[in-house]
Structure 1
Amino acid sequence: MIYKLLVVLTYFILYVTLLPLWRHTAWWVRGLDFPRFQFMLLAFFLLLADLFFLDFAHFSSWLMAGSALGCFCFQFGWILPYTRLFPMEVKPARNRYEANSIRVLTANVLMTNRNAESLIALVKKFEPDVLVTLETDLWWEEKLRVLEEEYKYSIKCPLDNRYGMHVYSRLPMEDTAIQFLVEPDVPSMHALVELRSNVKVRFHFMHPAPPSPTENPASSERDAELLVVGKSVADETDPIIITGDLNDVAWSATTRLFRKISGLLDPRIGRGMFNTFHAGIFFARWPLDHLFHSEHFTLAHIERLPYFGSDHFPMLVELVYDVAHGAEQEGLQADEEDHSWAEAKMDVHEVEESHVHEPGK
């Protein structure tokens, strides 16, 4: 009985490990990118069970244990950059001069969540310069109105389809735009935010729809939106920040492709996973809420904030504009195949980098 169970688990771990190598965009393929940490743990405990229960006088036992070990190593390789075992991609800030600092709080509120007071309390406690709220409808817009005395600059797109978005800033914000780049009911926001030192930072706020049986049956819409914005910032010399709930995990092939195409840096690398979803299920969490930035910035602080009633935890990131210190920072590099793959994904939905609003241009 135990042997049969180990055989079934071996086939399962091989299936969930190998299937995502297929570049098919169906939700039941791309969804397996998300729980790689959980699959790694399963492979580890399966290996231990193999070593304890199997008779290694038989070749099949070696094959099963080898499969578990191979799957463990493969899954661990994907998440390794998001542990402290890996070198940091973004340098720690050498100073925290307020004039060159910017603190960003990103919160997917869960549209049906009615605990607005807890979010407002977090905003007052951590005092972000820019607050990004996702899944916000008219009810949430009304509740967050109390922040507007301090956060005088805002972009508002209340929707009742779980893709509403609001941005509040205490720093001057100009050249703002709301766009529906890929889907007619899924907005993105774009703005130029001015630091206290008068440096202007190009911001893109995003929340593409995920691949799932209840949303989009494939990841193509999400992928196209991520990559068209990533391509629009590639080779730019201005400071850039992209943030939001990207409905993709940090270690997926698509997010890696986005990082390669955009050239942006991920401050979590070498520091931790900062799993933000699902806030209510401790054993099924992964990093869906992201902030990527150009080499102009170094990292002063990064933190997953406390639960406030949503299915997401908020994320707080503080960056320091320090061109000299950040000059040698380097992310992933794209090759010709990466560019071809990105173009193919964008072509599916007929979007081009010229469609993306470029604040300050």
Structure 2
Amino acid sequence: MTDKDAPLPVSAEEKPSLFKSPISAGVFCEALALLALVVTWLGSLGEYHWALDLLSHFRLQYVVVCASALVFGALRRSVVLVLAALVSLLWNAQLIHAVHRTAGPAPSLAKPAGKPLKVLVFNVLAVNDNHVAAIDHVLNVDADIVCLPEAREDWRLSLEPLRVRYPYRVEELGDGDFSIACYTRLPLKSSEVRRFPPWRLPTILLNLDYLGTPITFIGTHPMPPMTGERAAGWREQLGQIGALVAGIDGDVIVGGDLNATPWCHGMRLLCGKSGLGFHSFDPVWVPTWGRHLPVMIPIDHVLTKGSFIIRKRHIGPPMGSDHRSVMVELVR
């Protein structure tokens, strides 16, 4: 073979590149899309590991991811990707739909017995500097029961208008970011502060009289499950509150920043054997935390056990906190 017949050297510019090849880039994107779909399914295995349970919170975002993967798969004419995206989309959509309306039909709601009971839950954010706006918002809602997680010691003076408005209160302001305060105009028969292990954060129990019948309100704020140790404490607190509610006869209302979405394992621990449920005519998947972020999720809730149904559920405006308030109207 002569020098003329020898193959010419391939220059660096002419060498094939994965990122310059449209086919390779497409396959790479397909792999990423399939990986994203796998993540949406791993979130359903939260009972087996705390990290997997963290993935369960983002069902709203997963619907967008699955829909995008479905469109991409259709453009790529990838049967595998289209089928995987469609099944994943339907799975996440049905989880959200399951908490869209959780109260069955009740003809009596057209004429409820007595005035609706209004409950407000608002994580005011410990470092929120806008105390005046936050307290004015609470006063304007004028709920019968108010629960304020993260109202800590430096909120003491700002809470004075609520002490004037409401004749009954229980304040635990010395627990830092997990302080909590509850106010009510309903006759207070007794109150108690429970501290569940291992973190012993305060949970407030109010035994109240409502239209001549007893009800129990439980206000709580468990630690966010961002590490294995904290997740264990979070599950323990929610599970123990569920056990507490299971042992209470009559109507029970649980409200607070639960750091739990409707789809996570912690919520299943709370509701599983306690009889608690959302029982709401309005959707409970509307985000209450991080509404300015792509990862916005619903973690502030009011749940009931017994004869109450939530007729209205309203998410409040921004008031300096990273949470929005949740106001519900309950009727029997």
TM-score using structure 2 length? 0.85
| Deviation, structure 1 residue 93 | 2.8
Aligned to 1:17: 41
Aligned to 2:62: 39
Q: Deviations over 1:271-316 (max 9, x none)?
A: 34232111332x3222101111123113332111111110100000
Distance 1:96 1:185 in 2: 39
Contact 1:173 1:194 in 2 (8 A): yes
Contact 2:147 2:180 in 1 (8 A): yes
Aligned to 1:304: 315
Q: Residue 65 of structure 1 aligns to which amino acid in structure 2?
A: V
Contact 2:102 2:280 in 1 (8 A): no
**Structure 1: stretches of 5+ with no match in the other structure:** 55-60, 323-361
Q: Residue 208 of structure 1 aligns to which amino acid in structure 2?
A: P
Aligned to 2:156: 141
Aligned to 1:187: 202
Find the partner of 2:111 among 74, 95, 117. Answer: 95
**Structure 2: stretches of 5+ with no match in the other structure:** 1-24
Aligned to 2:217: 203
Q: Deviations over 1:80-109 (max 9, x none)?
A: 1133xx5634747333555x5321110001
Change in Cα spacing, 1:312 to 1:286, as seen in structure 2 (3 Å) is same
Alignment of 1:210-225 (within 5 A): 210-213=224-227, 217-225=229-237
Q: Residue 288 of structure 1 aligns to which amino acid in structure 2?
A: I
How many residues matched?
Answer: 307
Instruction: For residue 36 of structure 2, give the secondary structure of its aligned residue in structure 1.
Output: helix
Q: Residue 259 of structure 2 aligns to which amino acid in structure 1?
A: N
Q: Deviations over 1:155-212 (max 9, x none)?
A: 01113531000001122223211121123451111111222x2222111111111111
Instruction: For residue 330 of structure 2, give the secondary structure of its aligned residue in structure 1.
Output: strand
Find the partner of 2:140 among 125, 139, 142. Answer: 125
- Percent identity over the alignment is 21
Higher Cα Rg: structure 1 or 2? 2
Distance 2:105 2:152 in 1: 35
Find the partner of 2:264 among 252, 264, 283. Answer: 252
Change in Cα spacing, 1:19 to 1:133, as seen in structure 2 (3 Å) is closer
Is 2:258 the counterpart of 1:262?
no
Instruction: After superposing the two structures, state which structure 1 stretch, 298-307 or 270-279, moved more.
Output: 270-279
Instruction: For residue 139 of structure 2, give the secondary structure of its aligned residue in structure 1.
Output: helix
Instruction: After superposing the two structures, state which structure 1 stretch, 69-78 or 45-54, moved more.
Output: 69-78
Distance 1:293 1:203 in 2: 9
Change in Cα spacing, 1:15 to 1:297, as seen in structure 2 (3 Å) is closer
Is 2:290 the counterpart of 1:278?
yes
Change in Cα spacing, 1:116 to 1:136, as seen in structure 2 (3 Å) is same
